[in-house]
Structure 1
Amino acid sequence: MKKQSLIKGTVILGAAGIFARFLGIFFRWPLIMLIGDEGIGYYQMSYPMYMFFIAVASGIPVAISKMVSERNAIGDKDGAVLVLRKALILMLVIGGGFTAFILIFSSKLIVFLNWDRKSYYSLIAIAFAPLLISIVSAFRGFFQGMQNMNPTAMSQIFEQLGRVIVGVGLAYILLPRGIEYSAGGAAFGAVAGAFVAGIYLINRYISVRKEFKAVKYKKNYDIMSKLLYIAIPISIGSAVSSIMSLLDSIIVPQKLITAGFSYREATILYGQLTGKAFVLVNVPLTLSIALCASLVPIISEAYILNRKKEVLHKLQLAIKVSMVISIPSFCGLFFMAGPILSLIFPGHGDGYLILKYLSICIPFIVLAQTSTAILQGIGKYFCPVVNLLLGCIVKVAITSLLVKIPGINIYGAITGTIFGYVMASMLNMIFIKKYLNVKVNLYESIIKPAYASIIMMIIVVFIYSNVYNNTMSNGIACFISIFFGVIVYLILIMIFGIFSYRQIKRRIARKR
């Protein structure tokens, strides 16, 4: 199984992730046409519970990736297979337990969390997803640890295809019974997507298993204990992020009602924030997630082999790549929020200001994710957890204080999110400097990408305005301006010396 470089792995996962995200946006478009912002609100209220499981279980794939990478680095392929087998058992226990919990306590959860009772069907529909996702996550962690991102990339595409086809199909079929039933059908798409991805990954593993010796099952408590040692702090950290969303689903609607909005108005605003704005903000975050998935095993391997220069080089490269991705993404969504939202959701462009201001958090979320992956790669598992927890406290405090003010309302939640991630990312960078004694080149990593992004946006806005004035078509103006914006940005990256064409080509081609 061939290894892939940091850039190549990021490109593969990033391309698949963006394609999957666009499939997800395609999923949202007919969904919003069918059930509107109100139905999206019911759908989104159940989603934080599903994402909470993803967060709780997320530490194990990272732990698998790290442990498989370390064993592969020293030639212990049998040990790598044993890690996967132990992890599968652990993931099935966690996933099965979560599925049972949702099925048994769904009604009580809705009452306890003060959600709209119509969100019950979405919660029940999504209940079996944790069990299936547990299998998918374990195999993804294994392949990422082998530094082969192709299986993970393809599984993401298959997962989204299953989600879109089944989710939209059921939403359409169930719509005559009511919006809440239709939202439940859409939520079941997550189960279908996980099932399809799981089938693909199992078949892919069977096809490469012949590369490894037949490994008999044996009790090895060291593997299980190390899995838990690595996974627990990572899972806690991910759970903190998910808890942010869960708390938003409780705090934001309640505080909006306190501010004078009706239940329906509060649900619609919450749907615009989570079902529209966050969906679009998550598109560039896909590249960041891909970068982190490639980064952890590569940093871990270099660190365990005591190649300090390589660790520092990969660190600088990762931060530069993260800013090259996040800064233009922020600029694009900030200055083109209205046109982009109208393009993606025709006739349902309400909430563009929410998207505009939420985009400010993109660079800070990406930096927090990248710095967390670096700290995990060098074995500092609890540090980013504490930092993110502090960020969560800041977010909850600001959200609670501002959302209930009528003139601020939903924008208070956005402000809380921004300051929460600013806190987490800055603290992570302080600890990276402490543990690795490295100083990030701010001019190369941040200022140059910012210059390139500003110039790009001036050109994009100019092209959009002229094309729109001549065609009166938002779609044509968006596609043409964004197309030229991407080309201009790539050229500016090379003009400013952020990356050269030769560097990019060499990094993609080589194995390290």
Structure 2
Amino acid sequence: MENKFIRGTLFLTIATLLSKILGFIYIIPFTFLVGEQGYILYKYAYTPYTLMLSLSTIGLPLAVSKFVSKYNALGNYRVGLTLLKYGTYLMILSGIISFTVLYLMAPFLAGLVIDPNDQTGNSLADVQHVIRLVSFALLIIPVMSIFRGYFQGSQSMGPSALSTVIEQLVRIIFILVGAYVTIHIFNGSLTNAVGVATFAAFIGGIAGFIILLVVFLKRRALIKKQRDLSSSNEDINIISMFKELSGYAIPFVITGLALPIYQTIDTYTINPLFQSMNYTLGEAETINAVIGLVQILVLVPVSLATAFGMSLIPGITSAFISNRMIEVQSKISQTIQILMFFTLPAAMGLCILGEPIYRMVFGYENKNSPELGGFILQWYSLAAIVFALFTVTSAIMQGINKQNKLITGIILGICLKIVLNFKLVLYFEEVGPVLATYLGFIISIIYNIFIIKRTIGFKIIPLLKTIKSILLLVLAMTLAVWCVKELLELWLPGTLSLYYRSLIISIISIIIGISLYLGVGSRLTLVKNLAMKNRK
């Protein structure tokens, strides 16, 4: 049974990671098709949709998983099915309400980012159109997500994993094929192409839900038999059930909302801020789009690093509940060391290779402002470390039952981000929103670390000493990558196009950097110790 659970969890982790990788890769051909103006139009729709989706599901899928797992372990399978039934009703109602709110709010949201008197960018009608199209996905995604929570709580990870991948694949195919056909075959407008792309969330959701529904119907007889043979078959009061669920769900939803809220602040404040400084709407939208594209690049190493680091979080929770504080501190140190080992070199690599990497990924044939993108990427690159630290310290806070304190730290960071966006743009222009993001997340991280330290007596200085060797290794790798980059820029023939120069510089520098880092890093005592502890 344990091996089956481990295989299922691994399968789900791989599926989630694959889904995230696909979610990064498709942006490259999509931005090539629609350009920066099309991408920012897409972002106008997806940013509020992501927020509304988090609010509509209210963290329930993860809470359902925890709830079902608890009662199944107690031998009461009836409660899980009852929760699935009433939770589905709740998600249908929540989806209808959130769809209606987003659909009706489209004119208001469009008015926040578009000046109707400036014709250099997207129009009010364009933004309203794409927001209303993406809102349809809210009718299906919340219901689908609660079925995923039920399967995961039943320790059946396969259906959730399969539906996650199918949903993403169908969505991406619909986005790319739909945008290409609209533009190149039907000679449709950019707005219609982006509209098709946003509606893809609804199509992908249907595909993912069909997978879950088919599996559930196939297993229905077995599930009913399991319920009828339960050692404890008592139902619990619906109000008590949802009260317990809300205690699980609120921390999940608040933590998950942090990054989308930061993205929303940027998306909906950058245009008016830059227009107040005499930028045209088109120029402001370019900056807005580039910051969004840069963030996608920065989040790639974050997802990989946290996938490794977060694997230790259940152990932290278990040790804390059992009052094994020395083990808790040891596991927190391991988590942060793993985080630094993977995230710090990636962040420094993005910083050194900012322009060539941005041009290689998004700037083919000088599309999508590669100079501006490279400049912002160099400033934004170290945010990978900040995002990863926030994710892990937030998970640790939940592991040591400090969910309420966690919410306070997140709210402090968001308030600071809003204030600094308005202040720093005036002085630092394109870099202003980036610096505001750094400072907002840093205040939340400092707050989290303070609470962790006060709760379990965690010591920071010994941790800093343990990662000293990682810092020295990253410094050596950074110098090597910088030298390779400079030498290649001198040696490559001037007749080579800027795109192919960037491609060659990026690939060779990355290969040498990774080879040096992993080659020397695998010999470090710290890395060997971490590997041995994880094997145990």
TM-score category, normalised to shorter length: 0.7 to 0.9
Q: Which amino acid in the other structure matches residue 388 of structure 1?
A: I
Q: Which amino acid in the other structure matches residue 197 of structure 1?
A: G
The CA deviation string for residues 153-206 of structure 1, in whole angstroms up to 9 with x for no partner, is 554433332222101122123333311221111212222333333334445666
Q: Which amino acid in the other structure matches residue 487 of structure 1?
A: S
Asked if 1:358 corresponds to 2:380, the answer is yes
Residue 157 of structure 1, aligned match among 162, 165, 176: 165
How far apart are the structure 1 equivalents of 2:28 and 2:361?
A: 7
The answer to which of 165-174 and 238-247 deviates more is 238-247
Asked if 1:452 corresponds to 2:473, the answer is yes
- Residue 391 of structure 2 corresponds to 369
Q: Tell me, yes or no, if the aligned pair for 1:285 and 1:366 is still in contact at 8 Å.
A: yes
How far apart are the structure 2 equivalents of 1:208 and 1:448?
A: 52
How much has 1:433 moved relative to structure 2?
1.3
How far apart are the structure 2 equivalents of 1:438 and 1:395?
A: 28
When normalised by structure 1's length, the TM-score is: 0.86
Q: Tell me, yes or no, if the aligned pair for 2:38 and 2:194 is still in contact at 8 Å.
A: yes
- Residue 410 of structure 2 corresponds to 388
Pair 198,434 (structure 1): closer, same or farther in 2 beyond 3 Å = farther
How much has 1:84 moved relative to structure 2?
5.1
How much has 1:147 moved relative to structure 2?
7.0
- Residue 174 of structure 1 corresponds to 182
- Residue 36 of structure 2 corresponds to 37
How far apart are the structure 2 equivalents of 1:60 and 1:174?
A: 37
Residue 197 of structure 2, aligned match among 179, 186, 196: 186
Residue 234 of structure 1, aligned match among 252, 267, 274: 252
Q: Which amino acid in the other structure matches residue 417 of structure 1?
A: T
Q: Tell me, yes or no, if the aligned pair for 1:167 and 1:187 is still in contact at 8 Å.
A: yes
How far apart are the structure 1 equivalents of 2:350 and 2:199?
A: 30
Q: Tell me, yes or no, if the aligned pair for 2:114 and 2:271 is still in contact at 8 Å.
A: no
Q: Tell me, yes or no, if the aligned pair for 1:10 and 1:287 is still in contact at 8 Å.
A: no
How much has 1:366 moved relative to structure 2?
1.0
- More relative contact order in 1 or in 2 (CA 8 Å, sep 6+)? 1
Pair 89,435 (structure 1): closer, same or farther in 2 beyond 3 Å = farther
How much has 1:506 moved relative to structure 2?
7.5
Q: Tell me, yes or no, if the aligned pair for 2:52 and 2:102 is still in contact at 8 Å.
A: no
How far apart are the structure 2 equivalents of 1:272 and 1:302?
A: 43
The CA deviation string for residues 108-133 of structure 1, in whole angstroms up to 9 with x for no partner, is 44236657412122212211223332
- Residue 96 of structure 1 corresponds to 96
How much has 1:410 moved relative to structure 2?
2.0
The CA deviation string for residues 64-105 of structure 1, in whole angstroms up to 9 with x for no partner, is 344455556666666556555554444333233212222344
Residue 278 of structure 2, aligned match among 248, 256, 260: 260
SS at match of 2:459: coil
The answer to which of 77-86 and 358-367 deviates more is 77-86
The CA deviation string for residues 415-470 of structure 1, in whole angstroms up to 9 with x for no partner, is 10011111111110111112222225423664333223222233334445556635
How much has 1:241 moved relative to structure 2?
3.7
The answer to which of 172-181 and 132-141 deviates more is 132-141
SS at match of 1:261: coil
Pair 127,241 (structure 1): closer, same or farther in 2 beyond 3 Å = same
Q: Which amino acid in the other structure matches residue 497 of structure 1?
A: T
Matched ranges for 1:192-231 at <5 A: 192-203=203-214, 210=222, 213-214=226-227, 219-231=237-249
How much has 1:331 moved relative to structure 2?
0.9
How much has 1:258 moved relative to structure 2?
0.8
Pair 10,261 (structure 1): closer, same or farther in 2 beyond 3 Å = farther
- Residue 119 of structure 1 corresponds to 127
Residue 534 of structure 2, aligned match among 481, 484, 507: 507
How far apart are the structure 1 equivalents of 2:473 and 2:409?
A: 31
How far apart are the structure 2 equivalents of 1:308 and 1:486?
A: 36
Q: Which amino acid in the other structure matches residue 213 of structure 1?
A: Q
The CA deviation string for residues 256-299 of structure 1, in whole angstroms up to 9 with x for no partner, is 0011100111111101111x101111212223554576566554
SS at match of 1:213: helix
Pair 65,448 (structure 1): closer, same or farther in 2 beyond 3 Å = farther
The CA deviation string for residues 202-246 of structure 1, in whole angstroms up to 9 with x for no partner, is 456667774882268764433311111221243234435433222
How far apart are the structure 2 equivalents of 1:337 and 1:382?
A: 38
Q: Tell me, yes or no, if the aligned pair for 1:145 and 1:297 is still in contact at 8 Å.
A: no
SS at match of 1:499: helix
Aligned CA-pair RMSD = 3.5
Q: Tell me, yes or no, if the aligned pair for 1:334 and 1:355 is still in contact at 8 Å.
A: yes
How far apart are the structure 2 equivalents of 1:71 and 1:309?
A: 31
Q: Identity, % of aligned pairs? A: 25
Q: Which amino acid in the other structure matches residue 28 of structure 1?
A: I
- Residue 277 of structure 1 corresponds to 294
Q: Tell me, yes or no, if the aligned pair for 2:345 and 2:474 is still in contact at 8 Å.
A: yes
SS at match of 2:227: coil
Residue 248 of structure 1, aligned match among 240, 258, 266: 266
The answer to which of 224-233 and 66-75 deviates more is 66-75
How far apart are the structure 1 equivalents of 2:204 and 2:294?
A: 23
How far apart are the structure 2 equivalents of 1:5 and 1:334?
A: 40
How far apart are the structure 2 equivalents of 1:294 and 1:222?
A: 31
Structure 2 runs not aligned, ≥5 long: 116-122
Q: Which amino acid in the other structure matches residue 129 of structure 1?
A: A
SS at match of 1:157: helix
SS at match of 1:495: coil
How far apart are the structure 2 equivalents of 1:328 and 1:314?
A: 22
Pair 84,332 (structure 1): closer, same or farther in 2 beyond 3 Å = farther
How far apart are the structure 1 equivalents of 2:309 and 2:72?
A: 19
Pair 257,140 (structure 1): closer, same or farther in 2 beyond 3 Å = same
How much has 1:4 moved relative to structure 2?
8.7
Pair 148,458 (structure 1): closer, same or farther in 2 beyond 3 Å = farther
Residue 321 of structure 1, aligned match among 318, 334, 338: 338
How far apart are the structure 2 equivalents of 1:15 and 1:477?
A: 31
The CA deviation string for residues 295-353 of structure 1, in whole angstroms up to 9 with x for no partner, is 66554455455555554443333222222232122112111111111111223324111
SS at match of 2:194: helix
Pair 380,506 (structure 1): closer, same or farther in 2 beyond 3 Å = closer
Q: Which amino acid in the other structure matches residue 429 of structure 1?
A: I
Q: Tell me, yes or no, if the aligned pair for 1:277 and 1:358 is still in contact at 8 Å.
A: yes
Larger Rg: 2
How far apart are the structure 2 equivalents of 1:64 and 1:367?
A: 27
Residue 459 of structure 2, aligned match among 432, 435, 439: 439
SS at match of 2:40: helix
- Residue 106 of structure 1 corresponds to 106
SS at match of 1:379: coil
The answer to which of 116-125 and 446-455 deviates more is 446-455
- Residue 53 of structure 1 corresponds to 52
Q: Tell me, yes or no, if the aligned pair for 1:65 and 1:297 is still in contact at 8 Å.
A: no
How much has 1:143 moved relative to structure 2?
5.5
How far apart are the structure 1 equivalents of 2:195 and 2:24?
A: 18
Give the number of aligned pairs. 504
